Amino acid sequence: MARKKDTPQKEFSAMTNITQDMLYRLSLIKYAEKYGVTKAAGL
């Protein structure tokens, strides 16, 4: 009996992680622009 490959779910999960990581980095950049890099570095 052939086993189903679960790669599409893993790929989706990896893509979600990448997207969340990029959104987090973007929020840090926006915070740094608003409050200054020195204050953002203390997060």
pLDDT at 25: 94
Q: What is the number of other CB atoms lying within 10 angstroms of the CB of residue 31?
A: 14
Q: Give the chain's mean pLDDT.
A: 78
Q: How far apart are CA 3 and CA 14, in angstroms?
A: 22
Q: Residue range 10-38: average pLDDT?
A: 86
Q: What is the number of other CB atoms lying within 10 angstroms of the CB of residue 43?
A: 7
pLDDT over threshold 70, residue 21: yes
pLDDT over threshold 90, residue 23: yes
pLDDT over threshold 80, residue 43: no
pLDDT over threshold 90, residue 27: yes
